[in-house]
Amino acid sequence: MKKMLVFQTDFTYKEGAVAAMYGVVKSVDEDIEIITATHEIPQYDTWSASYRLYQYIDFWPKGTIFVSVVDPGVGTSRKACVCKTKNGYYIVSPDNGTLSHIDKYFGIEEVREIDESINRLKRLDNGHVSIFHGRDLFGYCAAKLASGLISFEQVGPKYDVEDIIRHTIIEAKIEKDYIEGTFEINDPNFGNLWTNVLLDDFLKFGFKLGDNVHTIIYYNDEIVFDQIIPYYDSFSKAEDHSVMIYNNEINKMGLAKVVGNLCKDYNLWYGQEYKVVFKHE
């Protein structure tokens, strides 16, 4: 049975890169099913690429192959790899930080560097393109793997999982009088911000639905937001244009401006420069 390919990139649909990449897959095997996760990862943002894989990967059938191409180092010495995760998936990606969240939360069982001598698209014009590995290397190798033309072992030589490039992922701190976290990512369409504070920890600290929570946001240690806001399980329970806390889709605490855009309206973003503190009212 052929495996599905799920793609995420920062290519957008503004030109022909996605079509060329998908065309290579179909040229290898027309029966491979291609699914688009997103082509709107922020440009060059390997942190976001890593987080988005973590957000959705575990909802797919085991054995699915994910192709993530956010590659500011294309054409350099960074490794092109395929990893096998401990929860039963394959990820085809540059080894540039994109595997960070998968490694931390699900674990990586094995990683192999793509052997370009056999698993790279050969062009009929004898040209050598070094700027489009999404098409010529990642998409092509993923298609061969999905179709069964190669096994995982035939991707290329194995290397030490400990050598994978990783972003630093910090965990929330639970203190006596407060919980301290950071904004890990945003919801770009609605402007919500997702923290690294786990729902379990939030509840163990004593917060419950309907509580008003003293919420302080720092940017480089300067307070940029200081309000008492409610914790609800539905946006419909808050007044329009008000700010609330909610449990997001991966059981971490998020902040939203209801019928608004928290990021734009409060000039907020994500990153470890931000510190979020939750206290009892």
Let me know: does 246 contact 147? Beta carbons within 8 Å. Answer: no
Query: What is d(CA 80, CA 77) in angstroms, rounded to the nearest whole number?
Result: 9
Q: Does residue 281 have a pLDDT over 80? A: yes
Q: What is the pLDDT of residues 209-225, one digit of tens each?
A: 999 999 999 999 999 99
| 168: in domain | no
Rounded to a whole number of angstroms, the distance between the first and last alpha carbons of the chain is 56
Query: What is d(CA 143, CA 164) in angstroms, rounded to the nearest whole number?
Result: 23
The chain-wide mean pLDDT, for the chain, equals 94
Residues 129 and 34 in one domain: yes
Task: Provide the domain limits for residue 220.
Answer: 173-280
The total number of structural domains that make up the chain: 2
Q: Sign of dihedral through CA atoms 163, 111, 28, 61?
A: negative
Q: What is the H or E stretch that residue 52 is in?
A: helix 46-56
Assign residue 216 the CATH number of its domain: 2.40.30.90
Query: What is d(CA 136, CA 139) in angstroms, rounded to the nearest whole number?
Result: 6
Chain mean position to CA 175: 28
Choose between 69 and 125: higher pLDDT.
69
Residues 137 and 202 in one domain: no
Place of tokens 């180092």: 73
Q: In this predicted structure, what is the pLDDT of residue 158?
A: 98
For the chain, what is the radius of gyration of the CA atoms? 21
Q: Does residue 34 have a pLDDT over 80? A: yes
Domain boundary among 104, 136, 163: 163
| 231: in domain | yes
| 19: in domain | yes
Domain boundary among 163, 198, 230: 163
Whole-model pTM: value is: 0.93
| 108: in domain | yes
Domain boundary among 142, 163, 184: 163
